[in-house]
Copies of this chain bind each other. A is one copy, B any other.
Amino acid sequence: MVRIGKLVVIGVGLIGGSFALAMKRSGGAESVVGVGRGRSNIEAAHRLGIVDRGFVLDDAWTAELGDADLVFLAPPVGQMPSLLAAIAPHLGLQTLITDAGSTKQDVVAAARTLLGSALPRFVPGHPIAGTEHSGATAAFDALFRDKQVVLTPLLETDATALTRVAECWTRCGATVRRLDPARHDAILSAVSHLPHTLAFALIADLAARADANDCFDLAGTGLRDFTRLASSHPGMWRDICLANRDALRRDLASYRDRLQRIDALLDARDGEALLALFTRAHSARDAWVERQSGGDEV
């Protein structure tokens, strides 16, 4: 199994912090250097044993890159280009680079432009894991256990680099899957970016009502679950929605059409067609839950 001597994590939040913890506690990384925007977050990461040394972006941290074995990029995706540009001139000749961005076509495009000769050592990735919490204090070493990680290597990607990054994720307890970046973005738009957008939209609609207080007072656990995604980090999700806007706009259009058809069924009091739709959805979801976990809600 792969062992990383020096791991540099850029963006020590839920994902970056959890990766650092999982790698350290599994013996996969000897030392971790953390780099982030906020001083208090990096200090928390140090206090919690997530990083051995911490820097904010204004510090002289790029000197840490020359002898780094792996650089793990986990900032909000909107900051990926400037960070790729910042690290490129300072990477060692053996340094591997990977990322945890929720969108992949934009990261791949930025890496192609900015990473230069380090491009073959860059392995784009996306762990399908998370909670609605953010920051180093939300990190925990089991976040990726039994979760999936998608790697979207380029034609130029070095086979050894790919294997080593995949092994890091295996160390964290995840299973690794390869996908084309465009396919990744299309699928994640449907199963993650669209649902997040819908949850934000519903809460925004509720909060804008004249009877908003009564609505929230009477809402039950159903609305809680339905809108948990709306407690996700707003800035991170703005970045993701913009980065994957083409796929997201296609899915939004299809979803709005679906709502329009449901409205037409309500207008026509077509109970039979409504029942058929609800039954189809019910069966599809139950089959999925059954497949993923033997039927237990998790």
Contacts and interface: CB of A to CB of B under 8 A. Distances in A.
A136 to B, nearest CB: 19
Contacts of A128: 218-220
Given A128-B220, A281-B204, A252 B259 contact: yes
Contact of A201 (B187, B226, B259): B259
A281 B226 contact: no
Interface in A178-236: 183, 186-188, 190-192, 194-207, 209, 211-212, 214-235
**How many copies of the chain does the oligomer comprise?**
2
Interface stretch (A18-26, A67-75, A283-291): A283-291
B222 A229 contact: yes
Interface in A119-172: 128-130, 132, 147-148, 150
Most chain B C-beta atoms within 10 Å of own C-beta, residue among A183, A200, A260, A297: A200
Contacts of A55: none
A254 interface: yes
Interface of A: 78, 128-130, 132, 147-148, 150, 177, 183, 186-188, 190-192, 194-207, 209, 211-212, 214-235, 237-239, 241-242, 245, 248-249, 251-256, 258-260, 262-263, 266-267, 269, 271, 274-275, 277-282, 284-286, 288-289, 291-292, 297-298
